[in-house]
Structures are given as C-alpha cells and as structure tokens.
Amino acid sequence: MSWPSLREAVLASSPSLGVVALALAAAFLAVLALTLLMRRRADALPLLVALALPFRVPIAAEGRTVNLLVPLYLVVAAGTLAHLLPRLYRGQGRRLRGLEWLLLASVGLYALQTIYSSDPARAGENIAFFYVPFALLYMVLREVEWSGELLLRCLAVWVGLAVLFAGVGFVEYARKSLFLNPKVVAANQYDNYFRVNSLFFDPNIYGRFLALVMIAVMGALMRSARREQVLAGGLVLAWLLGGLITSFSQSSIAALLLGLAVLGAWRWDVRKTVYVALALIAAAFAIALAAPASLHFGLKGAGGSTSNATSGRTKLIEGGLELFAQRPLQGYGSGSFQKEFERHRRANVENATSASHTIPVTVAAEQGIVGVALYAALLAAAFTVLLRGAGRSPPRVIVAACFAALVLHTWTYAAFLEDPLTWTLLALGAALAWERPSRAAAGEEYARSAAAPGGQ
C-alpha cells in the first residue's frame, strides 16, 4: 500500500479509534471512582454487583453482535483493585477449598481444550469475557462480610430491578414491539404468541432473572411474620409472575417451580413436597397431551412434535449426543458446538446455536468424558457446600434454592459458568457457609431484620 493510501486509511479509521480511546478513558475514570467508593464504604461492592448483574451492552465485532456485561466488568475491576489486590499484597490470601479448586479446574480445562477447538475464537471470547471476569467476581464476593441487613438490601436492589424489567416487558407486550434483540423480533413474526425479553436481549435469560428473584422473595416471606410485608411481597410476586408469563419461557417456569419446591421442603416436609411436585408434573403432562392444538403447546396440529413443543431443543440434544458418541474422550474442543453441529448435521447458522440448550450435553460434545466428570464433581461440591448445615440459616437455604433453579434452567436452556449469577450464588453460599463466625449468625440476623418493623 502506498503512503497516501495508508494515510487515507488511517484518517478514515481515526473517528473509530477516537471513540475507542474515549470509551477506554471513560472506563478508567469509572473504575477509579468506583474503587474510591468501595474503599470508603464496605457495602458498596455487593450492592453495586447486585445493581450491575443484569445489564448487558451490545458490542459489534467481526460482523456479529456480542452482548457483554460491561457495567459488571467495571464493578469487578474496581472490586479487585479496592479489596482483592490489597489483601494479596499483604499476604492475606485465602487457602482454596474443594469447590474453588473445582471452579479453577473447570476454567483451566476449558482454556486447555481451546487448543484443538474448531472455533477457538468463540472459546477465547468465553474465557476473556465470562470465565476470567466471573472468577474474579467470585473471589471479591467471597470476602464480603455478609450481614442480614446487607443481604436484605441486595435483595431489595434485585426486586427493584425485576419490577422495572417486568414493567418494560409489559410495555413491549402491549405494543407488540421489542426494544432490543432483532432475532426475537423476527421470530415473533412467525410464532402464534408474542415473547418479550425486556432489556435482556433474550426472553429466557429475562425469565431466569425473574424466576430467581421470585424464589428469593418467597424465601424471605416464609420467615416474615408481618402482615404488611406478606401483602407487599405477594403483590411483587404477582407482578413478576405476569412478567414471567409474557416471556413464554418454559425453562424459567420450570426453574421457578423447582426453587419453590426446595423452599417448601425446607419450610414444611420433604416427602410431602416430593409428592406434590410429582402430582404437578403428572398434571402438566396430562394437560399438554389433552390440550387442543389452538393452545400452541406444539404437540398437536400441523407440524406438531416434541421438537416443535421444545422449540427445536430435541434436535439440538440429538445432535450433541451424536457429537459426543463420535469423540467421547476429549470432545471437539471448547466453544465448538455450533460449528460441529453445522458440519455434522449440515445445518445453517439459523438452525444451529452455540449450545445444545442442555448444558450437560454441550459439555459432553465439547469437552468429552473429562469435562462431564469435572462438571458432575463441581455440581456435587456446590450442593454440598450450599446445603450442608443450612437448615437453620434462611439465607443459605434461599441461595441453595436459587442455585438449584439455575442449574435446572441450564439443563433446559444454556449458560452455566458463562452466567455471572452462577458465580454470585456460589460465592454468597460459600461465604455464608465457611470460615467466619460472624457469618454463622447472618441467618438469624436476616430473619430478625425481615420480621422487624420497617424490614424489607
């Protein structure tokens, strides 16, 4: 390229470079301000994490758009500077426990299997934008001194956000127009029902957030003896349930029911809860089989099938299991599901996704038996930490119920370690379960705060 041509190219690119430089400067100033705030106020970090968790910013790169949690990245960076690095500098770093070693091993295995992945770019994105930042998120939240009052304040932030998001969803549903996500806009043109996603770019991720907030609210209400709190909580739950229904997220409704079942087993009786759950499942299957095609369950009428009823998930699962059968030991490499599914099934981009919508199948196809074994060990360790001795601590039970719901959601949709909610719940559960005696009293303080006059 000649010098004039090179000069013109540089000049032509200067506006975009200027925008990038301005964005980096703004991010630097934001991190600096947040760091100073966190150094002055101990409760700033968890409250800011609760506030930033749901918000995604669309970033265009290489001809496609990636929705990144930019506000959360800024909060995590500030938390690392304000709390984590000073502790490491003073030699106050903690000894890793079993759950944390498994989380570290999961990130390490995913990075290692990028070497032979057919889509290393996607795997690199997942590591850079999800695994590493969320691991830091876990580490900074793990060190927070969680009191009952702080837990309630974080829950209040979540409830406020969920109410706002549901309100946005109602506006979308009334207008039959989405503010975000052109893919869902296009899908709504062909479906017999209109799905909202509020500000989440995805109706299932929107539904997941609402379901987890509803489980937490229900758990708090179970320990409240004040009539006005129960009434206010019931109104909030009714509002959020309406938002969940307009998302038409089957996976989110199933996750909500499982979370409520965990709370019911804790509050009343495990055996009775199991019986009621089985009865509800049987009734749901009977209704789905007996319902007319006009209800759009997808099992009957023109094109009726299990694939149609599950929005194509059964085909994705079948394809994922075929990939696992062909390379069971090591899989096809991290982040490779979409490309391998397209290649083996001769599907186009519209018919393939980056996951099988069932996390164990995605792990099996991409990471083989080694990845599946590590995934199973991680779940076993996580539930052990969250549930062991949690019966007398309402916050721990609520966290366990939310985590169980999230895991089920990942089995019927996607995003496990790629979701900051996973790392947040594990960090909170571990912090409440381990080490510091003051945290052992957080459950009793939480219950007292919820029942006290003016409690949230």
| Structure-token pair, residue 254 | 């199933």
Euclidean distance between CA atoms 320 and 341, whole angstroms: 7
Q: What is the pTM of this model?
A: 0.84
| Structure-token pair, residue 228 | 């006005």
Sort residue 248 into left (φ over 0), alpha (ψ -120 to 50) or beta: left
3-state secondary structure of 66: strand
Euclidean distance between CA atoms 45 and 289, whole angstroms: 49
Euclidean distance between CA atoms 82 and 362, whole angstroms: 37
How would you label 117-128 residue by residue, b for 16+ Cβ within 10 Å and e otherwise? bbbbebbebbbe
- Cβ(61)–Cβ(70) below 8 Å: no
Euclidean distance between CA atoms 188 and 182, whole angstroms: 10
- Cβ(124)–Cβ(423) below 8 Å: no
Q: Over its length of 456 residues, how does the chain's per-residue pLDDT go in tens digits?
A: 444 443 444 344 444 677 778 888 888 999 999 999 999 998 999 999 999 999 988 776 666 667 889 999 999 999 999 888 887 767 666 777 899 999 999 999 999 999 999 999 999 999 999 999 999 999 999 988 899 899 999 999 999 999 999 999 999 888 887 876 655 554 444 345 678 888 888 889 999 999 999 999 999 998 776 888 889 999 999 999 999 999 888 899 999 999 999 998 888 877 777 777 777 777 766 765 665 555 454 444 445 444 445 455 677 788 888 899 999 999 999 999 888 888 887 655 444 455 557 899 999 999 999 999 999 999 999 999 999 988 888 899 999 999 999 999 999 888 899 999 999 999 999 999 986 544 445 555 555 555 554 443
Nearest C-alpha neighbor of 108 from the set 324, 367, 320, 337: 367
